């Protein structure tokens, strides 16, 4: 199992340590396909999956970019990508996860 991080950042200075959750996004059907931050609907999260792979998509705070984590379901190996478009981030993370060894 591998742990990793990008560049370290300074710890937030706010005293509040209250955590909250994303809430179901208002959809056009009965099925909820994504979550959004309560009070900031531009900050979204979506999870997709098939039999082999999980894709976790997280938008920037302002909705102008995406981070996608691709996870192989059997091994839990992962890849991560950041792009302006959700589809581009997903395609790159997926291709890096399953690139030829």
Convert the pLDDT of each residue in 13-64 to its tens digit.
887 778 888 999 877 778 888 899 988 999 999 999 999 999 999 999 998 9
How high is the pLDDT of residue 16?
A: 73
The Cα angle at residue 21 between residues 8 and 53, in degrees rounded to 5: 70
Tell me which residue range forms the domain holding 82. 33-97
Three-state secondary structure call for residue 11: coil
**Which pLDDT belongs to residue 55?**
97
In a domain, 14, yes or no: no
* pLDDT over threshold 70, residue 81: yes
- 23 inside domain: no
Q: Note whether residue 76 is domain-resident.
A: yes
Asked, for residue 6, whether it belongs to a domain, the answer is: no
Q: Is residue 25 part of a domain?
A: no
Q: What is the DSSP letter of 82?
A: E
For residue 85, name the pLDDT band (cuts at 50, 70, 90). Answer: very high
Q: What is the count of structural domains for the chain?
A: 1
42, part of any domain? yes
pTM for the whole thing? 0.85
**Per the domain annotation, does 50 fall within a domain?**
yes
């Amino acid at each position: 199992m591998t742990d990793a991080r990008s560049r370290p950042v300074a710890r937030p200075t706010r005293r509040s340590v209250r955590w909250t959750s994303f809430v179901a996004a208002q959809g056009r059907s009965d099925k909820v396909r994504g979550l959004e931050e309560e009070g900031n609907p531009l900050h979204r999260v979506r999870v997709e999956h098939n039999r082999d792979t999980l894709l976790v998509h997280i938008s920037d705070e302002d909705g102008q970019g995406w981070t996608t984590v691709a996870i192989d379901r059997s091994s839990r190996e992962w890849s991560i990508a950041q792009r302006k478009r959700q589809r581009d981030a997903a395609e790159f993370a997926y291709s890096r996860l399953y690139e030829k060894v």
